[in-house]
Structure 1
Amino acid sequence: MESSLYPLTIYFDGSCQLCSAEIENLRLRDTQGRLRFVDCSPADFVSPVPGADRTALMNVIHGVGAQGQVLRAVDLFEAAYRAVGLPWVSRLMTHPLVRPLADRAYPWIVRNRYRLPRSLIRGLFERAARQAAERAASQPRCRDGACERSTEPRS
């Protein structure tokens, strides 16, 4: 299934700072070009996801695989982390003790995502994003079987 899943298009709430921070973290880590990102927060956004209108996309993160597979919530994050080279996070999310907790926590996080303090979100994602950016800068960017290494100097 893995090869048929990517590229995986992720529909996210760009008006949510938590969602945007996580998407930026994934975007920076996606050196193989396996993920696509679509902000579904504009009021005039029309969902192309089968069985999910804009409201559904705003309330549960969705992804659509290369062959039309629809993933939601924790399943989507598990596939996204696997795509960006974080297999340990992906495996953790499928662990029999962790998965039920993740499934229960996700709806609570979604309901409260606009209430989370910016400082908490920054603290959670700033270091991870910086590390991802550094790692991405040192690796070749690959899309459609062609790779190129960044020529920008690293600081």
Structure 2
Amino acid sequence: MNKPILFYDGGCPLCRKEIAHYRKLDKANRIQWDDIHQSSATLQQYGIEYSQAMQIIHAISEDGKQLQGVSAFICIWKKLPYYRHLASLVYFLRITPLLNRLYLCFAKRRYKRRCSENSCHISDKQ
């Protein structure tokens, strides 16, 4: 069985902090953490453009399905202690669409702020 892959921006201080928290919980090494700031090679294998991954978090599920936004988070939450309960609750309450709208508002602001300083070098990674 394949591990889910989470693509994250390791050049973003907030993203690094959040992923460090998740990785600390991932003692069983159930998730492949892929820092797209370091390399976009795995993104290319899955046909995901660097600019897309910088704008919205992406994951690849265990069965190879490409996920974005809150669905990507839920994919990894299912593999993490404590967070697996949150994933179940979100699914049970059917609030994924609401959370995704909120996440997309956040992601848009994060991307604009992060890349307005030209520190994401999108043209260099494609």
| Structure 2 stretches lacking a partner, 5+ long | 114-126
TM-score (norm 2): 0.74
SS at the partner of 1:7? Answer: coil
3-state SS in 1 of match to 2:32: strand
* Partner deviation per Cα, 1:94-130 (whole Å, 9 max, x = no partner): 2445322201111111122265xxxxxxxxxxxxxxx
Contact 2:61 2:75 in 1 (8 A): no
Residue 99 of structure 1: aligned partner: 96
Q: Which residue does 1:90 correspond to in 2?
A: 87
| Structure 1 runs (4+) greater than 6 angstroms displaced | none
Does structure 2 retain, via aligned residues, the 8 Å contact 1:18–1:113? Answer: no
AA of the residue aligned to 1:83: K
Unaligned runs of 5+ in 1: 116-155
> Superposition RMSD on alpha carbons, in Å?
2.3
The 2-side partners of 1:21 and 1:91 are apart by 24
TM-score by length of 1: 0.62
Distance 1:45 1:71 in 2: 17
SS in 1 for 2:59: strand
Cα 1:71/1:97, change in 2 over 3 Å: closer
Q: What is the SS of the residue equivalent to 1:34?
A: coil
Deviations 1:36-86 (A, max 9, x none): 1111124x6342353311111111111123442212111111121110122
